Amino acid sequence: MQTSLDMFTAPVLRPYQQAGIDELREAIRSGAKRVLMVGPTGGGKTVVAASIIRSAVARGKRVLFLAHRIELINQAKRQVEKFGVLDVGVIRADDARANPEAQVQVASVQTLNRRPEPLDFDIVFVDEAHSSMADSYRNVVSRFPKAIVIGLTATPFRQDNKGLGEIFEQLIVFARPSQLVDDGFIIAPRAYGAPAAPDLTDVKVTAGDFNARYLEAAMVRGKLVGNTVQEWLRLAAGRRTVLFAVSIEHSRLLCKTFRDEGVAAAHIDANTDSDTRALTLHRLNTGELSVVCNVDVLTEGWDQPSVKCAILARPTKSLRVHLQQVGRILRPFEGQEAIILDHAGNCDLHGMPHWDREFSLEYGQGRKPDITLHTCKKCFAMWTGAARACPSCGEEREHMPRELPESVDGMGLVSRETSEQTDPKRVYFQRMAHQARTRGWKPGAASARYKEQFGEWPPWAWSQSLKMSYELDVEWQEDVRQASERREYWQARKIV
């Protein structure tokens, strides 16, 4: 039964939220039918949508809210109900909250895409609208040609960094990170780099981002994994933490390493059932767990302000992925500081999450501000500005310009050293490892050429690391197989 809106006092909107709604209404009055609302993580995009839905329901409009994950569906339903709209149905497979007659429907885009029955809505909201170029979204939205379509996102560009101009006509940025920091709605994080960064030289790029299979091989190095845990123990021990990993194996490996150090840690991924996922996050929220390692589960649409550390163990070329990941820890909580431990080089590449960016429907991902990010060579703290001394430990930054050459060791790690400290043996072994990959040789070929050059076998750790890379690299294995077949063919020809 629908409850009168007059019985509820709607939450008070923040000034910028109301200003954004006013701008949206003006755009619609001017003829726009597809508008993208952009605000940073923590800006209250779902609150803005709920306020608009309350007004629409009061005018007798039917509203559809599209989302692609159960967490987002639940979040939207709760927020709409806070605004006094209780006539809400859920369109999702086997969901007991289904109510086809409800004036407002919160729907799984996957479920609605599979249901051909006709529906009629006046307003359609698209949550996490950066996914709206996917066929599932486009198919659903195309069924409501007369509806006003309102997209909601913190990152108004696709995975391949292209704009969303094919879907939306107008873009409204209703809040910027600097404004939210100044007003206390999000917090500027403290960030740290890492003693060693991964060597991504041989990692291929697919659809605008690093290929997951190649990236996994680069990130499972023993030293990288160990540094990740040790740096957390040094800088964030006990702080509730989310870790973003490359793959299930990588996440499980990091989780085990944390546990081996006595840290309460757990792993979740897309295959984890919803009950286990919810229980794991509840345990993180209560502090029973300190670290949750995940793969593409908590990147977006997850709000848990008590989590105040993000470990970036997944390098990405995607600004969208970077901002979504680090945005998870920016909401204030009991005066705690937000800490980023960047073992992926993402902050160097994309910048900090609380920097303002200019967005457009045409050119895609936001342009990185012209700000220099310094990293301390001693404690690895990151900072901006003209200060030459690290604000954390006082080390003078001119001793380690970021532009200095970085040495590559035989384990595929980029060490933060000067060129005078570069070990020519490590460089040679890395070059032979690269040749082995590209020419279809087995890992032992690199070690054999090293022995020919220096009269001794390479250190055991180097050869074992390369062997592990080979075992994870299906394409390299296929190249070796094909090279072997070619040799056998020509040997057979010679015999004949």
Give the amino acid at 368: K
8 A C-beta contact, residue 244 and residue 299 = yes
Domains of the chain: 5-183 (3.40.50.300), 190-353 (3.40.50.300), 404-481 (no CATH)
Distance (Å, rounded) from C-alpha 189 to C-alpha 40? Answer: 14
Distance (Å, rounded) from C-alpha 323 to C-alpha 308? Answer: 15
Distance (Å, rounded) from C-alpha 459 to C-alpha 65? Answer: 58
- Total Cβ atoms within 10 A of residue 252: 15
- Taking the alpha carbons at both ends of the chain, their separation in whole angstroms is 87
Give the amino acid at 178: S
Structure-block tokens of residue 346: 């993402």
Distance (Å, rounded) from C-alpha 356 to C-alpha 349? Answer: 15
Structure-block tokens of residue 315: 């390098």
Residues 444, 449, 454, 455, CA torsion sign: positive
User: Which residues, 6+ apart, have CB-to-CB distance to 186 below 8 Å?
Assistant: 40, 41, 42, 43, 177, 180, 330, 331, 332, 354
Distance (Å, rounded) from C-alpha 152 to C-alpha 172? Answer: 10
Distance (Å, rounded) from C-alpha 353 to C-alpha 350? Answer: 9
8 A C-beta contact, residue 129 and residue 300 = no
Distance (Å, rounded) from C-alpha 454 to C-alpha 448? Answer: 10
Q: What is the pTM of this model?
A: 0.75
Give a three-class secondary structure readout of the chain: CCCCHHHCCCCCCCHHHHHHHHHHHHHHHCCCCEEEEECCCCCCHHHHHHHHHHHHHHCCCCEEEEECCHHHHHHHHHHHHHCCCCCEEEECCCCCCCCCCCCEEEEEHHHHHHCCCCCCCCEEEECCHHHCCCHHHHHHHCCCCCCEEEEEECCCCCCCCCCCCCCCCEEEECCCHHHHHHHCCCCCCEEECCCEEECCCCCCEECCEECHHHHHHHHCCHHHHHHHHHHHHHHCCCCCEEEECCCHHHHHHHHHHHHHCCCCEEEECCCCCHHHHHHHHHHHHHCCCCEEEECCCCCCCCCCCCCCEEEECCCCCCHHHHHHHHHHHCCCCCCCCCEEEECCCHHHHHCCCCCCCEEECCCEEEECCCCCEEECCCCCEEEECCCCECCCCCCEHHHCCCCCCCEECCCCEEECCCHHHCCHHHHHHHHHHHHHHHHCCCHHHHHHHHHHHHCCCCCHHHHHHHHHHHHHCHHHHHHHHHHHHHHHHHHHHHHC
CA atoms within 13 A on the CB side of 149: 22
Instruction: Give the pLDDT confidence score for residue 479 in this predicted structure.
Output: 76
- Total Cβ atoms within 10 A of residue 205: 12
Q: In the beta sheet, which residues pair with residue 389? A: 396
Structure-block tokens of residue 49: 């949508």
Nearest of 134, 149, 170 to residue 361 by alpha carbon? 170
pLDDT in tens, the chain (496 residues): 445 565 667 789 999 999 999 999 999 999 999 999 999 988 999 999 999 999 999 999 999 999 988 888 999 999 999 999 999 999 998 899 999 999 999 999 899 888 877 788 999 999 988 887 778 888 888 888 999 999 999 989 877 667 788 889 999 999 999 999 999 999 999 999 998 888 888 888 887 789 988 899 889 877 889 899 999 999 999 899 999 999 999 999 999 999 999 999 999 999 999 899 999 999 999 999 999 999 989 988 788 999 999 999 999 988 889 999 999 999 999 999 999 999 999 999 999 999 998 888 886 666 667 788 899 989 999 999 888 899 888 888 754 433 333 444 444 444 444 333 457 888 888 888 887 877 788 888 888 888 888 888 888 778 877 877 777 666 778 778 877 776 676 666 554 3
